Amino acid sequence: MRKLVRLIPGWKRILLFAAPLAISAGALAGAYLYATSASAAPDPTIHPGTVGIEVPPPAGLLVHVVGAVANPGLYRIPRGSRVYDAIAAAGGLSPDADLSKLPNLAGRLTDGEQVKVAFARTTSGTVITRTNLNTATLDELEALPGFSAAFAQEVIDYRTNFGGFQNTRELVEILGMSEAEYVIARRFLTL
């Protein structure tokens, strides 16, 4: 029987150099094809302009925080987070939150959960109205709990001399309101 294939003399040396080059060229071509196909894939996220609701980028749990928080809305938080993390993501409790009706702050969150924070209500069932500390009149300030006529006048004098309040906490730190009175009064104040 005759051999139909003849090998070039020194073919082992050529194979020794050509095989690694062919393998690396194939790997580079495969990586290029993979990268171009991954970038051409359609974007599965919902675009804010199409639905009318701004949805945070997908990662972690999506929770809806409503009620007496600084910034109610949809928030993405890491898996394993608790209710207090969701409230903190929404800017924390607002001054008109009912502290006796808070959800379980230590409870674990699930994807798609809604966290409701109740508003404080008066005995008649109406929502507490808040008084703007920088624009309120003397009579409006005197009507607030913890504000005497003299303290209300101090507030107006401070506001006039220093251009207004930056934070309601300044009532304690600068004007000397007691902590106990401030805890009650802050529910009725805004800036």
Domains 49-117 and 131-190 fall in the same CATH topology: no
pLDDT in tens, 70-84: 888 889 898 889 999
pLDDT in tens, 181-190: 777 777 777 7
**Where is 189: in which H helix or E strand?**
strand 189-190
User: Minimal CA–CA distance to 191: which of 88, 65, 66, 95?
Assistant: 95
Going from N- to C-terminal start, the domains of the chain cover 49-117, 131-190
Task: Return the CATH number of the domain spanning residue range 131-190.
Answer: 1.10.150.320
- N-to-C CA span, the chain: 102
**Where is 168: in which H helix or E strand?**
none
Query: What's residue 134's pLDDT?
Result: 77
By the 10 Å C-beta count (0-12 exposed, 13-18 middle, 19+ buried), 130 is classed as middle
The two three-digit tokens of residue 131, written as one number: 């008084």
pTM for this model (two decimals): 0.38
Report the half-sphere exposure of 54 (CA within 13 A, side-chain side).
4
* Residue in the structure block whose two tokens are 């906490």: 169
Query: What's residue 52's pLDDT?
Result: 59
Ranges under pLDDT 70 in the chain = 1-8, 11, 38-58, 121-129
Please tell me whether residue 169 adopts helix, strand or coil conformation.
coil
Amino acid at 94: S
Give the architecture (CATH level 2) of 49-117.
Roll (3.10)
